Amino acid sequence: MYPVLIQIGTFQLRSYGVIVALSFFLGLWVSEREAKRKGIDPGLIQDFAFYALVGGIIGARLYFVLFSNPSYFLQNPWQILAVWRGGIGIIGALFGGLATALWYCRKKGLSFRQFADTLAPGVILGQAAGIFACLLNGDSYGKPTDLPWAITYTDPRSMAPLNIPLHPVEIYEMAAYLLVFLLVWQTRKKYKTEGFAFLTYLAGYGVARFLVAFFRGNPAIFAWGIPAAQVFGVALLLFAMAGFYVLEKGRVKRTTEI
């Protein structure tokens, strides 16, 4: 693929950083649109974006460090900061962004559920676009396969094994995220309870990560050979289902009291 878009001498403009940046702004644009629709000041989304970027990067890098090759990073701690070389975990970015959103809503006196619903469509669409960076960089490659749609990396600057047909797991993941985006986008106006759109995103994302992990060639391992993505995917799905139950129970109780 194309891990480097432009190289002039020793300078390299890596596709990973460019695509991730564009994906961030795409998600921000969608979130601002959703904020206007819900009567929320788009300036709050713009203000939050900086904090979310910092929190997301920290969470994403820590996830990768903890579940990819922690012994290597213990021996080479300066490499923890080398985010530009690839190696971030989107699940970690989710938790980092979630923690940042909780802090920001408390600081600004905002409803977290409403704020999370506002961000949900933009977040998952940004994630779908961001997976293209992994495809170009080869850092989240698939298992070897002889299927006719396999992809083969030949650029020595790629992080994937070279000259081996692999599952295009990045494309699988991108397609799964786009389906989750469409689900959130099409149902967000139908929900009468704040928080349901965000929980829909969490449930869909959890299922997508669980399924896609079966095709990953280099999954981060949680324990006993189980991919961390599948553990967290199941956890997100269960959390979302519990959230649906609690919110719906609360809505029914309020309706009955009225």
pLDDT tens-digit map of 183-203 = 999 999 898 889 999 999 999
Range of the domain at 193: 4-257
Tens-digit pLDDT profile for residues 63-112: 878 777 777 777 777 777 766 565 667 788 888 999 999 999 999 999 99
Tens-digit pLDDT profile for residues 155-175: 888 888 999 999 999 999 999
Residue 226 CB partners (closer than 8 Å, separation 6+):
none
Half-sphere exposure of 241 toward its Cβ, with a 13 Å CA cutoff? 8
Global pTM value = 0.87
Mean pLDDT of the chain: 88
The whole-number pLDDT of residue 84 equals 58
Task: Count the domains in the chain.
Answer: 1
The whole-number pLDDT of residue 226 equals 87
Two structure tokens written together for 162:
């070279």
The whole-number pLDDT of residue 248 equals 85
What whole-number percentage of the chain has pLDDT above 70?
Answer: 94
